[in-house]
Amino acid sequence: MANVIVIAKIYVEDPEKIGEVEEEIKKAVDVKASATEELAFGIKILKVTFIANESEGMEKVEEKLKAISGISNIEIEGVDRELG
């Protein structure tokens, strides 16, 4: 099966621990890029681009990420096949 590129918004429970959560995400998935974005009223999210195996399924990837302490919600923005 092919690899897919996933773009996800990851909502963090405590904005002060966003760096720690980001490090745990990097251990769980193959992160290619990540950035912190401010939504409003001090709410910060991580926008993460990572590579996942298509055969693993998005549900399993989401479960793996939701198991990380400090993550309150995950919103998948896009999934596309990796070229090459």
Domain that holds residue 17: 3-81
**Could you tell me the pLDDT band of residue 33, with boundaries at 50, 70 and 90?**
very high
**Domain total in the chain:** 1
Using the predicted structure, report yes or no on whether residue 39 has a pLDDT greater than 90.
no
**Model-level pTM?**
0.87
- Averaged pLDDT, 56-80: 92
Q: What CATH number has the domain bearing residue 37?
A: 3.30.70.60
**3-state secondary structure string across the chain:** CCEEEEEEEEEECCHHHHHHHHHHHHHHCEEEEEEEEECCCCCEEEEEEEEEEHHHCHHHHHHHHHCCCCEEEEEEEEEEECCC
Q: For tokens 């409003």, what's the residue?
A: 40
Distance CA 4, CA 19 (A): 25
Q: What is the pLDDT, as a whole number, of residue 12? A: 93
Q: What is the pLDDT, as a whole number, of residue 83? A: 78
Q: What is the pLDDT, as a whole number, of residue 84? A: 63
Q: Which residues contact 63 (CB under 8 A, 6 or more apart)?
A: none
